[in-house]
Amino acid sequence: MAAERPVAPVSSSIASRPAPDLPGGGAEDRAHRDLAGALVDALAAGAPSARDAGRTWGSRLARTVAPAPAAERVHGHAARLGFGPETVPAPAGIERILLHGCPYRDLARRAPEVVCALHQGVLDGLLERDAVRAELHPFLAPDLCGADLVAR
């Protein structure tokens, strides 16, 4: 058995320094942690698909806000997740929210069947008690996705 090496005490000046920002930190870093957390939670609970994992995440998000119209909640949660949401005119019966600057775009381009399905599930969970459903439209342009809210 190897002998344990003594551990030198950490000076208080080192211990109290904030951790350095990581490249891509800030909102994008938080968005990736949220995505990873949702996937880990879903896998641990035995979720059968990325969309199911997202639905669980969306249901959890829905319980964290005061009641508001569906489009306002989608817009607000999209902004908190790191998107740049924009509500735009749409045909009658549709509320359209453009999602600019997806913080997961690199991952979504590699595996849209996971990342985009997860986000469709988030929308499903967020709106599960509403009279509307969301249809996610990935990559309308290189840096743009959209969500249409339509009556069930």
pTM of the predicted model, to two decimals? 0.74
pLDDT tens column, 64-95: 888 899 999 999 999 988 899 999 999 999 99
Q: What are phi and psi of 121, to 5 degrees?
A: -65, -40
Whether residue 99 has pLDDT greater than 90: yes
Whether residue 15 has pLDDT greater than 90: no
The two most distant CA atoms of the chain are separated, in Å, by 74
Whether residue 147 has pLDDT greater than 70: yes
Query: Crossing angle of helices 27-44/112-126, nearest 10°?
Result: 90
